[in-house]
Amino acid sequence: MCRIEGVGPGGTGIVAKRCRRADGEFEAFIYSEVLERLSMESVRCYGFIDEGSGEHGWLFLEDCGSTQIADKRESFPIAFANWLALLHGSASNLPIRARLPERGPAWYLETLRTARLGLCQSLPERNWNNLDRSAVERTLVCFEVLERNWHVVEERCVGLPWTLVHCDLQPKNVLVRHTASGIAFLPLDWEEAGWGPPAADLAAIDAVSYWSTARRTLASTEFRRVEEQIRCGVLFKILSAVGWETIRLAAGSEGKAMRRLRIYAPQLTASTQALGLEV
């Protein structure tokens, strides 16, 4: 990714992001045909250009600076929870479902199964120490419990309308900009986005703030449904993280992958138990 000064409208800067063609075209669609249709400020997209190879290209975006919403170890502010509820409520009414990949419980179940297969294949092949082996075995036990009781996850993901979900909301992916009407939140990196329950975006969101705004759009929104989806969101976030580390492990980056899997194993256990499942 690189910044180019003075070539945008009115001499503004732009950001050029090199990415896979499929990702770039999809992100351009999200910015230009979804976010711009909502009455909310968003990053302006200037288009995607194929490199000519057919595999990669460049996505051109408005330069929104580098001010992130929070430090990576901090929680999202309450104001962002309100903003996210507005985004979810507004996007749920757009006729875009057919153009978005599904990001509901079924997708995360497939993420679980793929990660489990990778870990099962690695377990007999690796000469891990007791700490690493214990983390992997603990993860696999949680996977087994979760898959056997996946209907619980599906039941917790009802009660809120399906909508556009980012699926990778973290502080580094959200910029802020001060405007005449207040602070604008500008999420980036939409390549994992899709259509699903709000849970996919709620892992670190303040429940009360999100609910208080969501019920303005849908008066029947129950607070307990928001809480349930937040718990599912935490689980989804951990499953995605374990999935990425399984890919990293298969690619040969064993040290880094195992350091993170040791962190994720107790988090996965706690998340599974938070759904009322015994591990």
What percent of the chain shows pLDDT beyond 70?
Answer: 99
Burial class (CB in 10 A: 0-12, 13-18, 19+), 95: exposed
- pLDDT tens string 213-246: 999 988 889 999 999 999 999 999 999 999 999 9
- Boundaries of every domain in the chain: 1-63, 67-279
6: left (phi > 0), else alpha (psi -120 to 50), else beta? left
DSSP for 161-213 reads: --EEE-S---GGGEEEEEETTEEEEEE---TT-EEE-GGGG-TT--HHHHHHH
Pairing type for strands 194-196 and 14-20 reads unpaired
CATH number of 1-63: 3.30.200
Residue 202: predicted pLDDT: 97
Band of residue 21 on the pLDDT scale cut at 50, 70, 90:
very high
CATH number of 67-279: 3.90.1200.10
Residue 214 DSSP one-character state: H
190 in Cβ contact with 30 (< 8 Å) = yes
pLDDT mean across residues, the chain: 92
- Across the range 189-202, mean pLDDT stands at 97
Band of residue 124 on the pLDDT scale cut at 50, 70, 90:
confident
Q: How far apart are the first and last CA of the chain?
A: 43
**Across the strands, what pairs with 240?**
none
User: What is the pTM (predicted TM-score) of this model?
Assistant: 0.93
More reliable by pLDDT, 54 or 197? 197
For 28, the enclosing helix (H) or strand (E) is: helix 21-29
207 in Cβ contact with 174 (< 8 Å) = no
Residues in the chain: 279
- Across the range 49-59, mean pLDDT stands at 88
**Across the strands, what pairs with 2?**
16
- pLDDT tens string 131-142: 989 999 999 999
For 275, residues 6+ apart whose C-beta sits below 8 A from its C-beta are: 149, 152, 153, 156, 231, 232, 235
Instruction: Determine how many CB atoms are found less than 10 A away from the CB of residue 4.
Output: 12
Helix axes 207-217, 78-91, angle to 10 degrees: 30
